[in-house]
Amino acid sequence: MNDLFPLTGFPPAVFFVMFLWSLLWKGLALWNSAKNGQKNWFLVILIVNTVGILEIIYLFAFATKKMKLKDLTFWNKKSK
């Protein structure tokens, strides 16, 4: 496994952070597309790996119910 990293010049931690970033956005986009019945988007997001870029574009531009930046602050919800 260590033979791969000298070729790329990136430490393993960078790849791990990229993996977590991609996993977060892919999960949000897949959940949203499944919930809205957008099967084509679900398949594209599932198959194509773009390190979160396609997923972010889908969530903020093409989703049936577009996500807003304030939706990302779910941990900061105000109680009613």
Q: Residue 19 burial by CB count (10 A; 0-12/13-18/19+): exposed, middle or buried?
A: exposed
Q: How many CB atoms lie within 10 A of CB 59?
A: 23
Please write the tens of the pLDDT for every residue from 4-63.
656 567 788 888 998 899 999 999 999 999 999 999 999 999 998 888 899 888 888 888
Query: What residue numbers bound the domain in which 72 lies?
Result: 4-76
Q: How many domains does the chain have?
A: 1
Please write the tens of the pLDDT for every residue from 62-76.
888 887 777 767 555
